[in-house]
Every structure is written in C-alpha cells, then in structure tokens.
C-alpha cells in the first residue's frame, strides 16, 4: 500500500520544528519539506544584520542540518499557490506536487496598508536580502554625504514603534559611533527618527517597561514623532498628526509598521485577512481537514480577549509541536488534540547589552533582560537546529 505523503511548506521556526519532531516520531509516511532557500534564518535577529552589527551568515544555518534524508525529501523552490481541490502544490520551477496532508508554515511579508510609496520606496526588515539591502543602503548614504554634504543622507526614519522597530533602533544606535568615525562624521549630525501614530509604543508590554525602552533610545539620540505615515517619495517622508501634514527629509526610510502572512495564502483562495487564516482548535483549516496552518499565516484566537495572538517565534514553535503530534495522529488514525498556547513572556533587545521584557509575570530590564534574551535565542537554536547548531551559532557574548 502506498504511503501517505506529508508536505511542509516553509522552513522557518514552525516548519522546521515540525519536521524535526515528525522525524523523531518516524511516521509511516513520506515527508517532504519545501523552502525557497536552502537555509533557515533566525528571523528574530534580522534587525542585527540590517544595523550592521551581525553578518547574515551568523543568523542562518543549512536546512540539511535538520533534514534526515532517510525520511525526508527537501525541495528548494518558491510556492505559487496551493491547488486545494486537486491537493497539489504549484511551484515556480518544479512540477506540481501532490499531498495527502499539508502543513503551511510560510512566513510573513511587509504590510503597507495602502500607504502611497511604501511598496516602491520603503525598505523592510523581512528576510536576508532585505536586511542586506538596508545595511548597504545606510553605508551608501553616509558615503554620499562625503561627496555632496547633503544632510538628508544623515537622516534615518523608521515608521512604526513596535517590537521590530525598537530592536532595530537599539542595534543601530549602538552602531552609530562606529559609523560616524568610519565616515568622519560628527555623531551629532546623524539623525534617527521614529514615527508612530500614538504615544503608546510597544503595546505588548506594560507602560513602565515600554517607557524604559523609549527612554533608553531617546538617550541615544532617537527622536520620537507622533503621526501617521501618509506618503513616501525618494528623500521625503510625509506624516500626519491630526490635520497637520509634515515632512521629514531623509535618505533612509525603513517601514516596520505591520506585517501580513504570505501572499500564497490569498493566491490559494483561503478565507483570510491580511494573509492569515482563522484555524480550528486543532490547527486545521475549516473545510480542509487535510491542511494545517501555523505561524505567520495562522490566526489563533486568544479566549481572553477574542483577538488573534501575536505571530511570534514563541507561538510558532509551540504550534509546531502540536502540528507534529496531529500529523502523526492522522497517519495512525488517532484523534487530533487542540492547540493550547502557553505564554512564557517576551523580551525585546535594545542592543548587545540592554533589553527589556516581561517574563513569568515580572518586568526585567537592562543587562539581566539582555542575558535572558540571549538564552532564549540559544534555546530556540537547540529546539530547531539541535545542540551542535546552538554551539556554532549561539549567543555567548554575555559580557559584551
């Protein structure tokens, strides 16, 4: 009798963790992993590459380190859409691939909310090519200032004051003294501005912790501006506060104001909102019990407030463990279990030796939070890549 085929789309935190768990279960099924790159990227660390404090290779490792070739086939290609009626994956290059059970664990994309100019002129922190581009762009702007002394080159604007924004600003402000010295610029000539519609930054944290973060960044020179980005053109960022339209002249604009799930979700005809599907309690798709969705493309409702949980690496890894159990249960003909999210806290980095967060119901900040952040990153490497990967890629610079 032909074995059933389980296909996993995406080798991010959710997809790769699911594969690792499934391989340990040795299901009586053929496993196929699909990803557009041959490496896994620690997307929670992309801001470090964008700011120039870490090389791209430092936050990536080969997918083959996780794939057991005796159980799993790896296909490197870009998914165009899922043919749900035909139970097939349609690729850019490979022929269609049929599946019996499908796990969609594709990543996020930047969300422009229809703001004019963002798709064309804004940069986003979304993958390795995007952050390498940001890094090169900042250096190019500083070099251009040496040629024409146009101070527009010395201004960096970040749209949005959420988690990614703060982590990037923390890394960038740590780097500014070195960048200023390299390009012979007075550090006071460098301007970093953050635009946010409300004064309530970092809504995932309580006010004392959020204010600690904004105060620390302000001490390093970040200027916070209240307003909503209205339009972006080369060299100009327009924003509105109430009825007043203002403009900032900036050589660099980075948009962190929102993300959405993969465009593959919409292209596949799922009922979705911003690329996210409201999944059942067992992570299956309503009307398609053979398909599960986890990570950035899934929406799991928090019973306490009726809103979807934030899409984080933490929830994706927990979903992956549940998905692996349920996929194996499918093969064995057993009942599926519901996903239950256990929030363990959140820590936001503010650079190499500073951070803030809430863990086990307690506020932490400064060096203790930074230490905790690095331990969380190392634990993630173990859970997905294994101990050997953690030893190669882990964070052990606790005193830097």
> What one-character-per-residue DSSP string does 32-54 give?
EEEESSSEEE-GGGHHHHHHTSS
**For 271-296, what is each residue's pLDDT tens digit?**
999 999 999 999 999 999 999 999 99
How far, in Å, CA of 112 to CA of 234, rounded?
Answer: 16
Mean pLDDT on 75-83: 98
CA atoms within 13 A on the CB side of 309: 23
Mean pLDDT on 51-69: 96
pLDDT, residue 394, reads: 85
How far, in Å, CA of 23 to CA of 31, rounded?
Answer: 9
pLDDT, residue 271, reads: 97
Q: Give start and end residues of each alpha helix (H) in the chain.
A: 13-25, 46-51, 118-121, 128-148, 163-182, 207-219, 263-267, 313-332, 367-385, 387-393
Mean pLDDT on 228-233: 97
Q: H or E element: which one contains 23?
A: helix 13-25
Confidence class for position 398, pLDDT limits 50, 70, 90: low
What distances in angstroms separate CA 29 from CA 32, 99, 322, 330, one per listed residue? 10, 11, 18, 10
pLDDT, residue 393, reads: 85
Mean pLDDT on 83-108: 97
CA 126, chain centre distance (Å): 6
pLDDT, residue 2, reads: 85
pLDDT, residue 31, reads: 98
DSSP of 292-307, one letter per residue? EE-GGGEE-B-TTTSS
- Domains, the chain, in order of start with CATH, read 4-110+260-343 (3.50.50.100), 118-255 (3.50.50.60)
**Highest mean pLDDT range out of 281-295, 342-356, 358-372?**
281-295
21-35, 114-128, 378-392: the lowest-pLDDT one = 378-392
pLDDT, residue 361, reads: 84
Which conformational region is residue 287 in: left (phi greater than 0), alpha (psi within -120 to 50 degrees), or beta?
left
**For 297-342, what is each residue's pLDDT tens digit?**
999 998 888 889 989 999 999 999 999 999 999 999 999 999 999 9
Burial status of residue 396 (CB atoms within 10 A of its CB: 0-12, 13-18, 19 or more): exposed
DSSP three-state, residue 163: helix
pLDDT, residue 396, reads: 80
How far, in Å, CA of 214 to CA of 218, rounded?
Answer: 6
More confident residue, 124 or 306: 124
pLDDT, residue 395, reads: 81
Q: Give yes or no: 92 in active site.
A: no
**For 171-206, what is each residue's pLDDT tens digit?**
999 999 999 999 999 999 999 999 999 888 888 899
pLDDT, residue 252, reads: 98
Tokens found for residue 299: 């929406």
pLDDT, residue 331, reads: 97
How far, in Å, CA of 49 to CA of 131, rounded?
Answer: 6
Q: Which residue's entry shows tokens 């992570």?
A: 283
Considering the chain, what percentage of its residues have pLDDT values greater than 90?
Answer: 86
pLDDT, residue 160, reads: 94
pLDDT, residue 79, reads: 98
Mean pLDDT on 231-247: 96
Backbone Cα Rg of the chain: 22
Helices (H) and strands (E) in the chain, counts: 10, 25
66 DSSP 8-state letter: T
153 DSSP 8-state letter: G
**Of the residues 42, 109, 167, 377, which is catalytic?**
167
How far, in Å, CA of 150 to CA of 220, rounded?
Answer: 23
Tell me the average pLDDT of the chain. 95
Q: Which residue's entry shows tokens 């500014």?
A: 176
Q: Which residues pair with 41 in a beta bridge?
A: 60
């Amino acid at each position: 009798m032909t074995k059933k085929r389980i296909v996993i789309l995406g080798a991010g935190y959710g997809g790769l963790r699911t594969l690792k768990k499934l391989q340990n279960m040795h299901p009586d099924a053929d496993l196929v992993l699909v990803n557009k790159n041959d490496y896994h990227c620690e997307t929670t660390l992309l801001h470090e590459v964008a700011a120039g404090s870490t090389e791209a290779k430092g936050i990536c490792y080969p997918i083959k380190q996780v794939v057991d070739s005796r159980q799993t086939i790896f296909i490197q290609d870009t998914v165009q859409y899922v043919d749900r009626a035909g139970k097939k994956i349609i690729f850019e290059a490979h022929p269609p691939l049929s599946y019996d059970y499908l796990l969609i664990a594709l990543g996020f994309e930047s969300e422009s909310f229809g703001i004019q100019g963002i798709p064309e002129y804004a940069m986003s922190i979304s993958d390795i090519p995007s952050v390498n581009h940001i890094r090169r762009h900042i250096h190019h702007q500083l070099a251009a200032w040496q040629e024409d002394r146009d101070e527009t080159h010395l201004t960096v604007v970040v749209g949005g004051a959420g988690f990614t924004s703060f982590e990037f600003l923390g890394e960038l402000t740590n780097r500014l003294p070195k960048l200023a010295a390299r390009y012979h610029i007075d550090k006071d000539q460098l301007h970093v501005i953050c635009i946010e519609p409300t004064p309530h930054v970092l809504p995932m944290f309580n006010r004392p912790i959020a204010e600690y973060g904004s105060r620390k960044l302000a001490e390093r020179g970040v200027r916070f501006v209240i307003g909503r980005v209205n339009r972006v053109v080369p060299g100009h960022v327009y924003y509105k506060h109430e009825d007043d339209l203002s403009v900032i002249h900036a050589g660099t604009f980075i948009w962190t104001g929102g993300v959405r799930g993969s465009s593959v979700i919409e292209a596949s005809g799922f009922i979705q909102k911003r690329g996210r599907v409201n999944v059942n309690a067992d992570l299956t798709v309503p009307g398609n019990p053979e398909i599960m969705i986890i990570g950035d493309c899934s929406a799991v409702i928090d019973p306490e407030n009726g809103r979807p949980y934030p899409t984080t690496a933490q929830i994706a890894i927990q979903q992956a463990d549940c998905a692996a159990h349920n996929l194996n249960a499918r093969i064995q003909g057993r009942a599926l279990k519901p996903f239950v999210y256990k929030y363990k806290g959140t820590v936001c980095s503010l650079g190499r030796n500073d951070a803030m967060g809430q863990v086990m119901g307690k506020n932490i900040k400064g060096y203790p939070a930074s230490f905790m952040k690095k331990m969380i990153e190392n634990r993630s490497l173990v859970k997905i890549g294994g101990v050997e990967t953690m030893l190669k890629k882990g964070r052990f610079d606790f005193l830097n």
